[in-house]
């Protein structure tokens, strides 16, 4: 919590209080290929496909995992779970309180 008082000759005070709460102070970095893969999996999953169906579709499209293997349901589920956890950890709550006081 930081408090900042700005005083002028007219004896007016502006008090600003800013409170920032966050679970993490860093961004999760993903290279462009991995981000593209996650976005593709999200689109397929949001269209109603199961993890197994997503894996089959990625294999049909010729997409390989980072290790060069075909996708399977557990891998798709693990990637989505990891992505969702990293997104949830970016939660930030900000409160700004400004008050004015004449003296």
Instruction: Give 9-62 pLDDT, tens digit per residue.
Output: 556 666 766 666 655 555 556 678 888 898 899 999 999 999 999 999 999 999
CA 14 to chain centre: 34
Q: Is the pTM of this model over 0.75?
A: no
* Strands lying side by side in the sheet with 2-7: 2-7, 12-22, 92-102
Average pLDDT over residues 68-93: 81
Residue 86, pLDDT above cutoff 90: no
């Amino acid at each position: 919590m930081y408090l900042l008082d700005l005083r002028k000759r007219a004896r007016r005070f502006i008090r600003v209080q800013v409170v920032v709460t966050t679970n993490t102070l860093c961004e999760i970095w993903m290279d462009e290929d991995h981000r593209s893969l996650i976005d593709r999996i999200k689109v397929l999953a949001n269209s109603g496909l199961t993890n197994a169906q997503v894996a089959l579709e990625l294999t049909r499209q010729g997409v390989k995992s980072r290790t060069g293997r075909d996708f399977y349901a557990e891998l798709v589920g693990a990637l989505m779970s990891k992505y969702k956890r990293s997104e949830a950890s970016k939660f930030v709550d900000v409160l700004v309180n400004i008050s004015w006081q004449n003296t």
